[in-house]
Amino acid sequence: MTEKTEKKQAAFDFKICRATPHHLKYVVELDERTTGKSKFDYWQDIFERYGARRIDQRFFLVAEAPNDGGSGILGMIVGEVRGWEFGSEPCGWIFAISVEPDRRQQGIGEALFKAMCDEFRNVGIEKVRTMVRRQNTLQMSFFRGEGMMAGPFIQLEKKLNDG
């Protein structure tokens, strides 16, 4: 999707487009509302890396109301094509998705997910992956509802002071 191409959804009037520097403030605010933490520096860094560089393989999309006069965004999703780490063939990774809490269950998250999958498909990618905290039933249910299932990798970790 280029910055000029936008998708309109039939069920609810909003459009999905690539994030621009104008959206940074709204992304930070949305993230703070949903996670309870303000991470301006983190999102600024993500914007620089995903909004401007290697944008043929990195996608930062936002959902906004049409004719938005600066009233913010309805949701956002960030993903990129990564390959060969952990012996994996190139695949699309979604590493952030968020929808305005009082606009959930209205198809925005699903539209963002589908738009991201279209972006991956357009660059020849056949598989999409993400990672979800086990206790995060909301996100887990969302991705499951979109047809995602456990993949062939399992995440392992160790406390470094455990010896």
Partner 1 sequence: MQQSSRLAIYALIELASKPDSQISAAEIGAKYRVSAHHLAKVLMTLGRAGLVQSVRGVGGGYSFTGNAKRLDLDQIISLFEDTSTSCKLADPSKATDEEWALFDVTKEISDIARSTYKSITIQTMLKQVNRRSDMRKRSRNEV
Q: Decide: is 70 part of the binding site for partner 1 (CB under 8 A).
A: no
CA-to-CA distance for 69 and 106, rounded, in angstroms? Answer: 21
DSSP 8-state code for residue 115: H
DSSP 8-state code for residue 95: E
Of 61 and 97, which has the nearer Cβ to partner 1?
Answer: 97
Q: Which strands make up the sheet holding 128-130, listed edge to edge?
A: 7-8, 15-18, 58-64, 75-82, 91-99, 128-130
Could you tell me how many residues of this chain bind partner 1 (CB under 8 A)? 9
CA-to-CA distance for 102 and 51, rounded, in angstroms? Answer: 26
Of 71 and 141, which has the nearer Cβ to partner 1?
Answer: 141
Phi-psi region of 102 (alpha: psi -120 to 50; beta: other; left: phi over 0): alpha
Please give the backbone phi and psi of residue 15, each rounded to the nearest 5 degrees, phi first: -130, 155
Provide the 3-class DSSP secondary structure of residue 97: strand
Of 90 and 107, which has the nearer Cβ to partner 1?
Answer: 107
User: What type of residue is 76?
Assistant: M
Of 10 and 150, which has the nearer Cβ to partner 1?
Answer: 150
Q: How far is the CB of 149 from partner 1 (least distance, A)?
A: 9
Secondary structure percentages of the chain, helix, strand, coil, to 5: 35, 20, 45
Binding to partner 1 (CB under 8 A) within 111-150 occurs at 134-135, 137, 140-141, 144-145, 147, 150
Q: How far is the CB of 150 from partner 1 (least distance, A)?
A: 7
Of 66 and 150, which has the nearer Cβ to partner 1?
Answer: 150
Binding mask 12-41 for partner 1 (x = CB under 8 A): ------------------------------
Q: Decide: is 151 part of the binding site for partner 1 (CB under 8 A).
A: no
Q: How far is the CB of 39 from partner 1 (least distance, A)?
A: 26
Q: What residues make contact with partner 1 under the rule CB under 8 A? A: 134-135, 137, 140-141, 144-145, 147, 150
